[in-house]
Amino acid sequence: MNKTTRLTFDFLIIGSGGAGLTSALKLAKLGKVAVLSKREADNSNTTKAQGGIACVMDDKDTYKDHVEDTLVAGAGMCKKNIVKKIIKKGPASLKELIKLGAHFTTRGEMGDDRHCEDYHLGREGGHHKRRVLHAGDITGTEIQDTLLRQCRENENITIFENYAAIDLICSWRLGWLGENYCLGAYALDTNTNKVNTFISSVTVLATGGAGKAYLYTSNPDIACGAGVAMAYRAYAKIVNMEFFQFHPTILYHPDVKSFLISEAVRGEGALLKIKDKRGRLIKFMHRYHEMKSLAPRDIVARAIDNEMKRTGSECVYLDIRSQSEDFLKKRFPNIFSECQKIGLNMAKDPIPVVPAAHYCCGGIKTDENGFTGINGLYAAGEVACNGFHGANRLASNSLLEALCVPKFIYSDVKNKLKEIIADRPSGNIPDWKTGEATDSDELVVISHNWDEIRRFMWDYVGIFRTNKRLERAKARIRNIRKEIEKYYWDFYVTLDLIELRNISTVAEIIIDSALSRKESRGLHFNADYPDKNSKLASVDTEINRPHTF
Ligand code: SIN
């Protein structure tokens, strides 16, 4: 059961979303690449992205304006250099993707001007301009398919599907002295239940987000915070995890699990409304922000939460009845048809929505080149925190980051590769050691702990926080983590166990980060410190694993 295969590649990419596949395509120019995908290669957060890619593509827009909107949304926590670097790289990255075969909706296709081949640009919360390039409302799928097709055709890239990374192989964890080096990773092949050892000169973590830490999320089931948890265990720095973004508008219906109603719907004129006691739909966003329904996401999610609590409502409504059925079918074909499946016609019926956990703005601390500080270890996409999103990500900036940062990683790796290979410590890398127990009575603990974590994270560490709630969450996670560590090494490693261990680690990091930020800023709102503290602007919350050697 416990036989190990050893595989050696120049580069190991963990994660097969936009950031992972773009990294793979870039690094394949320098050597052999392995891409690990926890499930099927197209099962990623990128695939689910609806809105699009924010990018300066129009004469009426400027880099300065996009930078400004990003910084305002980021509430004093963005790092200006990386914001400028990514935004300036945007158009070139987009053109490259288009050259690889990605198609984005044109104005002609939207019927603005029948023959116009300029891109149709959408608008989302916090953007003062139309700048979101999109492929209808399935932009992520278009990007994922394009990148995946290219990776599959590239003879330097091997994609391992149904391989769940368990832990990074780092020299410090092996007890080796000197600087910390990442030498690869252990991964469970869930096709065969064998743990394999992947050895690499450079590893890129691109595992996406951690929405599954919360009971309600827009994320796919894979989003269990694996990258942050593995990096933490490997002694990387984890920053700003208190800034967890809640998307304001997830479809609210008993038969539908986590379906996003894109912010782009508000960009085309949808208004947020709540039902009063007499069942009339009333606008409310003008009471919260001058940009009303198109205010930055943190403000909109908190406003909805507040309105629902104030009125005892189960949901609020998105009203896009101002647009024609013809337009909505063209602009939002996927959302239109999902709504139709539950008997709603967007052109005639207001859509019931609620907020849900959506995007982790914190993550593994990296420099502008995606370097984590551990030799040979890089991070890109949602798993990383390079200062682009600050305390609140501007809508549709994440796909832009996922396409640009791999290019910075590629340049950095190209410059340092010889050195990394020359200085890399060598020694015996042991196989993964797993327990043998498979007692089904005990397995109930895994599902129980999963449910418990997700429930208290939602109730105590969600949109509205207080010291008391955070302390309660801390007490619970401490016990659960102890319990998990106790049986983790006794039981034969399974995907459920790997994910539970990761989600519990990430949940504790989120709680600790939230407890240590004694102010409210961006996505982090604590009623015991309801205001911003100007002294804490730009001050990162850093969580490090204590050294035990
Ligand atoms: C959306 O389409 O509303 C999501 C876009 C994003 O999260 O950036």
Q: Does the beta carbon of 51 lie inside 6 Å of ligand 1?
A: yes
Query: Each residue of 152-199: pLDDT tens digit?
Result: 999 999 999 999 999 999 999 899 999 999 999 999 999 999 999 999
- Using the atom order of ligand 1, give the atom closest to the CA of residue 261: 3
Edge-to-edge strand list for the sheet holding 542-543: 384-385, 363-365, 238-239, 542-543
What is the pLDDT at residue 319?
A: 98
pLDDT at 4 over 50: yes
Q: Is 304 in the pocket of ligand 1 (CB under 6 A)?
A: no
Q: Which of 124, 245, 334 to mutate for ligand 1's pocket (most ligand atoms within 8 Å of CB)?
A: 124
pLDDT for res 549: 53
263 lines ligand 1 (CB under 6 A): yes
Residue nearest to atom 8 of ligand 1 (CA): 396
For ligand 1, say whether the CB of 402 is within 6 Å of any of its atoms.
no
Q: Angle at which helices 440-460 and 467-488 pack, to 10 degrees?
A: 160
Whether residue 490 contacts residue 435, with contact meaning beta carbons closer than 8 Å, is answered with yes
Verify whether ligand 1 is closer than 6 Å to residue 45 (CB atom): no
Please give the distance, rounded to the nearest whole angstrom, from the Cα atom of residue 198 to the centre of ligand 1: 34
Candidates 16, 22, 11; CA nearest to 36 is 16
Are the beta carbons of 173 and 160 closer than 8 angstroms?
no
Q: What are phi and psi of 111, to 5 degrees?
A: 85, 5
Residue 203 banded pLDDT, cuts 50, 70, 90: very high
Q: Is the CB of 396 under 6 A from ligand 1?
A: yes
Tell me, using a 6 A CB cutoff, whether residue 262 lines ligand 1: yes
Least confident of 122-126, 223-227, 269-273: 122-126
Q: Which of 2-11, 201-210, 229-238, 418-427 has the lowest mean pLDDT?
A: 2-11
Measured in angstroms, how far is the CA atom of residue 247 from the centroid of ligand 1?
8
What is the location of CATH 1.20.58.100 in the chain? 442-543
**CATH for 247-358?**
3.90.700.10
How many whole angstroms from 480 Cα to the centroid of ligand 1?
Answer: 33
**Residue 1 in this model has a pLDDT that exceeds 50:** no
CA angle 239, 125, 339 (to 5 degrees): 110
Residue in 142, 262, 398, 400 to alter for ligand 1 test, most ligand atoms within 8 A of Cβ? 262
For 102-138, how does the pLDDT look when each residue is reduced to its tens digit (9 = 90+)? 999 999 999 877 777 899 999 999 999 999 999 999 9
Of 388, 394, 370, 369, nearest in space to 380 by CA = 370
Residue limits of CATH 3.90.700.10 in the chain: 247-358
Q: Is 426 exposed, middle or buried (0-12, 13-18, 19+ CB in 10 A)?
A: exposed
Q: What is the pLDDT of residues 278-317, one digit of tens each?
A: 999 999 999 999 999 999 889 999 999 999 999 999 999 9
CATH fold for the domain made of 442-543: Methane Monooxygenase Hydroxylase; Chain G, domain 1 (1.20.58)
Going by C-alpha positions, the residue among 172, 237, 219 that lies closest to residue 379 is 237
Which pLDDT does position 3 carry in this prediction? 65
182-195 residue pLDDT tens: 999 999 999 999 99
* CA-wise closest residue to 292 among 309, 267, 315: 267
**What is the Å distance from ligand 1's center to 361 Cα?**
13
Closest CA to 71 of 406, 525, 537: 537
CA–CA separation, 86 vs 74, rounded Å?
15
395 lines ligand 1 (CB under 6 A): yes
Structure tokens belonging to residue 429: 């890398």
Q: Give 71 or 448, the one with higher predicted confidence.
A: 71
Residues 6+ apart with CB under 8 A from 359: 209, 211, 244, 245, 247, 382, 393, 398
Predicted local confidence at residue 440, as pLDDT: 67
CA dist., res. 63 & res. 408, Å (int): 19
Quick: pLDDT tens for 419-472: 999 999 999 999 998 888 877 667 788 889 999 999 999 999 999 999 999 999
Question: Is the separation of the CB atoms in 304 and 248 below 8 Å?
Answer: yes
Contacts of 233 (CB under 8 A, 6+ apart): 167, 168, 173, 505, 545
Q: Which residue has the higher pLDDT, 234 or 441?
A: 234
Higher pLDDT, 515 or 257: 515
pLDDT tens per residue, range 39-60: 999 999 999 999 999 999 999 9
**Ligand 1 atom at minimum distance from 358 CA:** 7
User: Ligand 1 in contact with 264 (CB < 6 A)?
Assistant: yes
> Distance, CA 396 to ligand 1 centroid (Å)?
5
3-state secondary structure 295-313: CCHHHHHHHHHHHHHHHCC
* Stronger pLDDT, 296 or 319, i.e. the higher one: 319
Q: pLDDT band at residue 487, thresholds of 50, 70 and 90?
A: confident
Give the active site residues: 297
- Cα separation of 216 and 455, whole Å? 9
DSSP 355-376: EEEEEE--EEE--TTSB-SSBT
Residue-averaged pLDDT of the chain: 95
Residue 488's contacts (CB-CB under 8 Å, 6 or more residues apart) are 435, 497, 501
Q: What is the pLDDT of residue 111?
A: 84
Cβ of residue 398 lying under 6 Å from some atom of ligand 1 = yes
For ligand 1, atom 1, the nearest C-alpha belongs to 262
In ligand 1, which atom is closest to the CA atom of 249?
3
Kindly give the number of the ligand 1 atom that is closest to the alpha carbon of 359: 7
- Please, are residues 508 and 514 in contact by the beta-carbon 8 Å criterion? no
What is the secondary structure of 238-258 as a DSSP string?
EE-TT-EEEEEEEE--TT-SS
The dihedral region occupied by 263, where left means phi > 0, alpha psi between -120 and 50, and beta the remainder, is: alpha
Query: H-type helices in 437-466, by residue range?
Result: 440-460
* pTM value > 0.75: yes
Ligand 1 atom having least distance to the Cα of 124: 3
